C-alpha cells in the first residue's frame, strides 16, 4: 500500500548497506524531517534507539526507523570522524515519484520513478509546466521503474497518444479479451524519446508498448524486464493482503511481452558506474537532429 499510495510514516531517507555491513544514507527526501535535521548523503547510521545496527538486515533497520506519526526515533550518526546524535520526529513522508526539468534549452525531461496512486496527475502538472517553458521535444525516463497502478499508466498514455488509439489488450485465463483505447484528447504533439532498461517492468512496459506501437515515441536503452501480467491486491479480514495475478496484457500490435520484454529502437548499454549517462545523451542527440 505504501507503493500504491506513495507515502509512509518515517523520517524520510533513502538508505543502502555497504559491503562492510554499514547502513549508509543515500540521500534525505526533499522536505522531510531528515532533511530538516541536516542528515546528509554518506552519513552512517550506527544505532537506532540505542541498538547497534551495523550488520543488521537493511529491512529491519528501515522498520525500526519507521513508526507511528508524532513519535520520535533516536539515531547515532557517524559523519566523517564525528559521532552525532539526532532525535527526529516521525511524520508522513510524501514521495514524489515524478520529477522534471528543462535540458539543452528546449528539451523537456520527465522522470517517472513509479506509477503510484497520483502519478498521472503529477505527470500532467509537470508536463504543463514544461510546456509553459516552450519546450520543443520531450524525454520521458522510465528506467528502473518497476511498475505500479495500471489505471495511472493508462491515464498517462492517454495524455501522450491520439484519442481512439489502442493502449493495450488484456486477457484472462478463460481467454476473455478487452481492448483498452484512449478516451481523451492528446496533450502532446512533439517528438518524444522514451528511456527504458532491463528494470522497466509491468506498468512501464504498458507505456512503452503503447508509445512504440502507436509511433508516438522512439525508445532508447535496453530491452525491458518482461513482466506482462497484472495483479490486484485483495485485503484479508485479519489485516493482511494477497496479491493475485488476474490478467496478461499485450501491446497494441498484439505482442505478448511476458518473459520477453520490449526492445528499444536504439540499443544503448549503460553500466551502473558509468559517469556519463549514455542513454540520455543518445536521446538528446536524436532530438537535436
Helices (H) and strands (E) in the chain, counts: 7, 18
What is the rounded CA–CA span in Å between residue 123 and residue 152? Answer: 10
13-17 and 23-28: which strand pairing?
antiparallel
Set 100, 137, 213, 250: catalytic member: 213
107-112 and 98-103: which strand pairing?
antiparallel
Set 114, 165, 212, 227: catalytic member: 227
Set 100, 119, 165, 202: catalytic member: 202
> Which residue matches cell numbers 481492448?
179
- Indicate if 213 belongs to the active site: yes
What is the rounded CA–CA span in Å between residue 188 and residue 162? Answer: 9
Task: Provide the grid cell at 288.
Answer: 537535436
Q: How close are the terminal C-alpha atoms of the chain, in Å?
A: 43
- Indicate if 133 belongs to the active site: no
Q: What one-character DSSP code corresponds to residue 29? A: P
- Indicate if 41 belongs to the active site: no
Q: Which long-range contacts (CB under 8 A, 24 or more apart) does 131-134 make?
A: 133/102, 133/108, 134/106
E-only strand ranges, the chain:
7-10, 13-17, 23-28, 44-48, 51-52, 72-79, 82-89, 91-94, 98-103, 107-112, 137-141, 166-171, 177-181, 191-196, 217-221, 229-235, 241-250, 266-267
| Residues belonging to the active site | 202, 213, 227
Amino acid at each position: 500500500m505504501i507503493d500504491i499510495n506513495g507515502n509512509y510514516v518515517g523520517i524520510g531517507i533513502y538508505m543502502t548497506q555497504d559491503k562492510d555491513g554499514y547502513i549508509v544514507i543515500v540521500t534525505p527526501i526533499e522536505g522531510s524531517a531528515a532533511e530538516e535535521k541536516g542528515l546528509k548523503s554518506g552519513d552512517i547510521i550506527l544505532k537506532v534507539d540505542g541498538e547497534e545496527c551495523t550488520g543488521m538486515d537493511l529491512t529491519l533497520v528501515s522498520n525500526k526507523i519507521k513508526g507511528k506519526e508524532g513519535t520520535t526515533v533516536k539515531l547515532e550518526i557517524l559523519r566523517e570522524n564525528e559521532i552525532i546524535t539526532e532525535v527526529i520526529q516521525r511524520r508522513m513522508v510524501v514521495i514524489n515519484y515524478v520529477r522534471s526539468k528543462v535540458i539543452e534549452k528546449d528539451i523537456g525531461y520527465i522522470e517517472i520513478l513509479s506509477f503510484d496512486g497520483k502519478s498521472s496527475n503529477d505527470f500532467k502538472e509537470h508536463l504543463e509546466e514544461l510546456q509553459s517553458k516552450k519546450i520543443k521535444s520531450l524525454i520521458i525516463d522510465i528506467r528502473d521503474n518497476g511498475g505500479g497502478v495500471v489505471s495511472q499508466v493508462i491515464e498517462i498514455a492517454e495524455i501522450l497518444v491520439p484519442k481512439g488509439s489502442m493502449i493495450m489488450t488484456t486477457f484472462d485465463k478463460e481467454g476473455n479479451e478487452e481492448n483498452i483505447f484512449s478516451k481523451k484528447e492528446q496533450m502532446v504533439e512533439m517528438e518524444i524519446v522514451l528511456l527504458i532498461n532491463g528494470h522497466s517492468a509491468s506498468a512501464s512496459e504498458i507505456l512503452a508498448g503503447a508509445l512504440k506501437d502507436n509511433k508516438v515515441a522512439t525508445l532508447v536503452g535496453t530491452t525491458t524486464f518482461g513482466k506482462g501480467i497484472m495483479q490486484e491486491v485483495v485485503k484479508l479480514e485479519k489485516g493482511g493482503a494477497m496479491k493475485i495475478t488476474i490478467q496478461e496484457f499485450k501491446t497494441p500490435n498484439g505482442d505478448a511481452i511476458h518473459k520477453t520484454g520490449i526492445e528499444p529502437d536504439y540499443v544503448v548499454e549503460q553500466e551502473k558506474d558509468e559517469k556519463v549517462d549514455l542513454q540520455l545523451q543518445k536521446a538528446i542527440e536524436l532530438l537535436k537532429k
